Every structure is written in structure tokens, then in C-alpha cells.
């Protein structure tokens, strides 16, 4: 487990580099945090460390966005906030994305717990009383799916 604390948005590049370093080769990254905690902002900064030049935005309505890194990597960015029934994700072929071997950055994974792969990185963003952020990073192995 690793914890990263930051107070200024200007620090986000450094934070993203620390996150990428911690995550290593793991492809499934789950971002957890309240609305407005900075999940998408952190994903934008992480994407930049991989040389993504595409416009990075939250896929709230499209559910998934695809980005391309400078080294030819493919990154899938998911936002499941609007999902009401977890089985809705089957319509987009969710398991094909998750098991593609490409990076998958997932917001609001708690909406689809039964479809999250068993091994992933959990990045929890906690908003502190002073509006600073504390990010907890943890490797989850053999996650027990509901259902």
C-alpha cells in the first residue's frame, strides 16, 4: 500500500508519476472517490505520463473512451456512474475490454462489482477537511466478485 498527499493542483503531474510507478504492469486500475474528488483530473494527468495527446474527459454518457499513448498503447477509460443495472455493461462487451491486455481506468466500479477482474489496483481519493487530497493505492488480488 502507498499513500500520496497533495494540496495543490499543480502537483498533479508528480502525483501521476508516483501512481504510474506504483502500478507497474498492472492493467486494471479502479478509481474510487466521491463526486468531485478528482478522479478524472488524476486520470488526465496519468494519461499525460503515457504520452496520450487525445482529449481526456469523463465518459459519463458514452461509458467508455479510448485513448492512444505515444508508444502505441491503448487505454480505456470507463465511467459507470449512470449504470443502474450492472448487466447493462454486457451490452458494450465489458469483459472483452477488461481482458484485452490494455490499460483500463475505471470510475464508479462499485456499480458493477460482479464484472471487475479479480486483480487490480485500487486508487482511492479522499478529500481532506482542508480540500487537499489523500490518495491510497493498493494492489487487490483475488477480489471476490458479488454474485
User: Does the structure show a pLDDT above 70 at 30?
Assistant: yes
CB atoms within 10 A of CB 105: 26
DSSP letters for 82-97: T-SSGGGGGGGTHHHH
Closest-CA residue to 59 (of 92, 26, 17, 23): 92
- Residue 60's alpha-carbon distances to 19, 29, 50, in angstroms, are 23, 17, 22
- In terms of pTM, does the model score above 0.85? yes
pLDDT in tens, 41-61: 999 999 999 999 999 999 988
pLDDT in tens, 73-128: 999 999 999 999 999 999 999 999 999 999 999 999 999 999 999 999 999 999 99
Q: What residue ranges define each of the domains in the chain, with the CATH number in brackets? A: 2-140 (3.40.50.300)
**8 A C-beta contact, residue 31 and residue 105:** yes
Amino acid at each position: 500500500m502507498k499513500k500520496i498527499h497533495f494540496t495543490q493542483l499543480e502537483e498533479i503531474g508528480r502525483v501521476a508519476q508516483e501512481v504510474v510507478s506504483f502500478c507497474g504492469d498492472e492493467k486494471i486500475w479502479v478509481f474510487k472517490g466521491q463526486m468531485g474528488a478528482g478522479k478524472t483530473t488524476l486520470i488526465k494527468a496519468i494519461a499525460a505520463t503515457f504520452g496520450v495527446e487525445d482529449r481526456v474527459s469523463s465518459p459519463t454518457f458514452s461509458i467508455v473512451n479510448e485513448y492512444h499513448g505515444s508508444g502505441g498503447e491503448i487505454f480505456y477509460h470507463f465511467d459507470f456512474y449512470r449504470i443502474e443495472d450492472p448487466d447493462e455493461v454486457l451490452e458494450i462487451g465489458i469483459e472483452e475490454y477488461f481482458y484485452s491486455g490494455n490499460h483500463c481506468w475505471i470510475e464508479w466500479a462499485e456499480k458493477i462489482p460482479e464484472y471487475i477482474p479479480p486483480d487490480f489496483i485500487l486508487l482511492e481519493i479522499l478529500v481532506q477537511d482542508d480540500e487537499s487530497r489523500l490518495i491510497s493505492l493498493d494492489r487487490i488480488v483475488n477480489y471476490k466478485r458479488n454474485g
